[in-house]
Amino acid sequence: MRHYHIIIILAFIFMAFVSCASGVKKDAIRGFSIIGRWEGVDRTGRLGAFEFAENGNMTLIIDGRALGGSDQNETGSLKYTIDYTKDQIELDIIGIDEMGSPRGKILMIVRIITKNSIKIRTYFNETRPLNFDDETPDDTIILNRRPINAESR
C-alpha cells in the first residue's frame, strides 16, 4: 500500500513540474502581438522593416521601398500567418501575385525577446529553421517595434 502512495506523490510532482514548465512559454507570449511595425538593420547595414496588419496583410520595407501592403497592384501583395502555439513561433510570409494566387513562401521562426523586441530567423525560402542554435548574421535579425507613420516609409 505504501508503494502506491509514493507513486501517487511522484505523479503529482511530475504533473506540477510539467504545468510549471509549460507556463513559462505561455507567460512569455501572453498578450504579445506581431501587429505593428518592426525595424532592424541587416548584416550589410541596411535598415529594413516589417509592417504587420491585423487583417493578415503585410508590407516589407527595404531601403525605403515598400513591397506588398494591402493594395494589390502589378507586383502583387504580401500576406502573413503566425502560429504562436508552436515551440518555435512560426511566421510565414506569402507572396500573392497580381491575380491573387499564392506564389511562394518565406518560412521563419520568431523568438520574443521582449514585447518590443523579437529575433527572426529564416533561410529566405520554403525551408523553416528548426531553432536558433546555429544562427548566423546571414539568417537572423533582431527587430524592434516602432510606431507606424508616413515618414518612416
CATH number for the domain harbouring residue 44: 2.40.128.640
**Statement to judge: residues 58 and 19 lie in one domain:** no
Q: Domain total for the chain? A: 2
| Contacts of residue 3, Cβ cutoff 8 Å, sequence gap at least 6 | none
**Statement to judge: residues 13 and 74 lie in one domain:** no
Cα–Cα distance for residue pair 48/143, rounded to 1 Å: 9
User: What pLDDT score does 76 carry?
Assistant: 80
Q: Per-residue pLDDT tens, the chain, 153 aa: give them.
A: 554 444 444 333 433 333 333 343 455 567 889 999 999 998 888 899 999 999 999 999 888 888 876 655 566 899 999 999 998 999 999 998 888 888 889 999 999 999 999 999 999 888 999 999 999 999 999 999 998 765 544
User: What pLDDT score does 67 carry?
Assistant: 83
3 state DSSP class of 89: strand
**Statement to judge: residues 54 and 126 lie in one domain:** yes
User: What pLDDT score does 149 carry?
Assistant: 67
**Statement to judge: residues 1 and 64 lie in one domain:** no
**Statement to judge: residues 53 and 114 lie in one domain:** yes
**Statement to judge: residues 78 and 142 lie in one domain:** yes
User: What pLDDT score does 70 carry?
Assistant: 60
Cα–Cα distance for residue pair 142/104, rounded to 1 Å: 24
User: What pLDDT score does 29 carry?
Assistant: 65
**Statement to judge: residues 3 and 61 lie in one domain:** no
**Statement to judge: residues 12 and 63 lie in one domain:** no
User: What pLDDT score does 73 carry?
Assistant: 56
User: What pLDDT score does 12 carry?
Assistant: 38
The answer to whether 49 touches 144, Cβ cutoff 8 Å, is no
User: What pLDDT score does 42 carry?
Assistant: 86
What domain range is 64 assigned to?
31-152
User: What pLDDT score does 17 carry?
Assistant: 37
Cα–Cα distance for residue pair 33/48, rounded to 1 Å: 19
**Statement to judge: residues 15 and 55 lie in one domain:** no
**Statement to judge: residues 25 and 44 lie in one domain:** no
Other CB atoms closer than 10 Å to residue 57's CB: what's the count? 18
**Statement to judge: residues 79 and 108 lie in one domain:** yes
**Statement to judge: residues 55 and 8 lie in one domain:** no
